[in-house]
Structure 1
C-alpha cells in the first residue's frame, strides 16, 4: 500500500480524491492529509499563478515527508473583475478562508454588472511530486456564471453563487458525485490519474 499525501487539511478535498481513485479503479494507494503527518513549515503562496503555488506546495510536502505528494491551488476567476480574485480567492476580503466575507465582497464589486456579464470560471491547478522522480502539473477549469443570492449547502467558498454552464443549480446544490464529475478540481485530479496508476504499480 503506497501512502499518497494530499497537502491539505480540508476533509472535503481528501474525500474527493479518495472517491476519484475508487471510481478509476486505482487500488493500493492510501490518501492521507496534512493532519496525518508531522507538521512542517509550509511556504506562503506567493506565486502569481495557480500552477506555481500548487507545485511549490507539493514540493514542500514531498521534501518534508518523503512521500509522493499532491497539492492544489484553486480559486475563481470572474470575467468582469479581469480574472480576479484568482489566486487571491481564499483571502479576497483580507482574511484567509472567510467564505462569507469573500462572497459579500465579490457580490458588492459586481453590484453594477448586468446579469449577462456575470461569467466566471473555477480554476484548479494540481501538482504531483514524487520524491526523486517526476513532477507533473495539470489544470482544470469549470465555466459558469455568478448569481447574486446564495443557494445550497453542499459546497464551500464561492460554490453557493456559481451556476455551472448547462445547469440551473449552483455548485453548492449539486450532489458530491455530480460535482466530482464536473468540477475544476475533479478535472485536474483526474488528469493525474495516469501518473497515479504508475505509482500504484
Structure 2
C-alpha cells in the first residue's frame, strides 16, 4: 500500500449524504473520504447477519480485504419496544420486497394499531465497524431514544424519521434540520464514540 492509500478511508455506502457525515470527522485529520461509488467494480455485500454488528462487520471486512484499505461500514435500524425490538436489523425491508420507507412506516403503525394501548417507546441504533486487513476491527455503537408518533410528520430525512418522535424537542426526526439531526442522531452518537478511539487505531496502519 502506498502513502496515499494510507490516508484514504472508504465508507461502505453509495449514499453521498451518509458519506458527508463521516467526512466531518475524518477529513480534518487529513484523511480522504471515498465511497463505493468510487469502486463500481465491487458488488454489494449481502447483509445476512442477525445483528447490527454482524452486518456492519461483514461489509467492512469484506471490502477491506478486497481493496487492502481501511473501510468503515455501518448498520442501523429502529427497535420498537412493543414489537419486541422489531424491525431491528430488518428495518430497511420490513415491509418485504423492495425498500419502501412509506410501506415500512405503514407496517409499523398497523402492527402497533393492532395492540391495545401499546408502548410507543423506541430507539434508533447504529453500529460502526472500522476494518483493515492487517488488524482486528474496531466496533462502536450509538443510540437515540424516542417514541413512535401516531402518524408520520416532517419532510426532512428518510426511513423511519417521520415516525420517530423526540419528546424533549417536540418534533419527529424528519422535522429537524440536517444540522440538528447530525448533532443528536444515533449515527452522530456512534461517531462520537468512534472519535474517542479511532485515531490510535488508524495510526497502527503506519507501523
Give the TM-score normalised by structure 2. 0.88
In 2: Cα distance, 1:84 partner to 1:130 partner: 31
Provide closer, same or farther for how the CA distance between residues 174 and 44 of structure 1 changes in structure 2, counting only shifts above 3 A.
same
Secondary structure of the residue aligned to 2:79 is strand
1:131-150 matched pairs, under 5 angstroms: 131-150=133-152
Match of 1:105 in 2: 107
Decide which of 5, 11, 15 is 1:10's aligned counterpart.
15
**8 A Cα contact 1:164 1:170, kept in partner:** yes
- Map residues 139-178 of structure 1 onto 2, 5 A cutoff: 139-178=141-180
1:42–1:60 contact (8 Å) kept in structure 2? no
1:189, distance to aligned residue in structure 2 (A): 2.0
Q: Structure 2 CA distance, aligned partners of 1:165 and 1:21?
A: 32
Scaled by the length of structure 1, what TM-score is found?
0.90
Work out whether residues 8 and 70 of structure 2, in 8 Å CA contact, stay in contact via their aligned partners in 1: yes
CA contact (8 A) 1:93 1:101 kept: yes
Q: 1:70 to 1:96 in 2, by over 3 A?
A: farther
Distance 1:93 1:180, change over 3 A: same
Alignment gaps of 5+ in structure 1: none
Give the alignment's Cα RMSD to 1 decimal: 1.9
- Structure 1 segments of 4+ aligned residues over 3 angstroms from their partners: 112-116
Q: Identify the match of residue 52 of structure 1 among 51, 54, 69.
A: 54
Residue 75 of structure 1 corresponds to 77
| Bigger radius of gyration | 2
Q: Which residue of 1 aligns with 2:67?
A: 65
What's the offset of the Cα at 1:165?
4.5
Unaligned runs of 5+ in 2: none
Q: Matched residues in 2 for 1:140 and 1:96: separation?
A: 27
Contact 1:37 1:65 in 2 (8 A): no
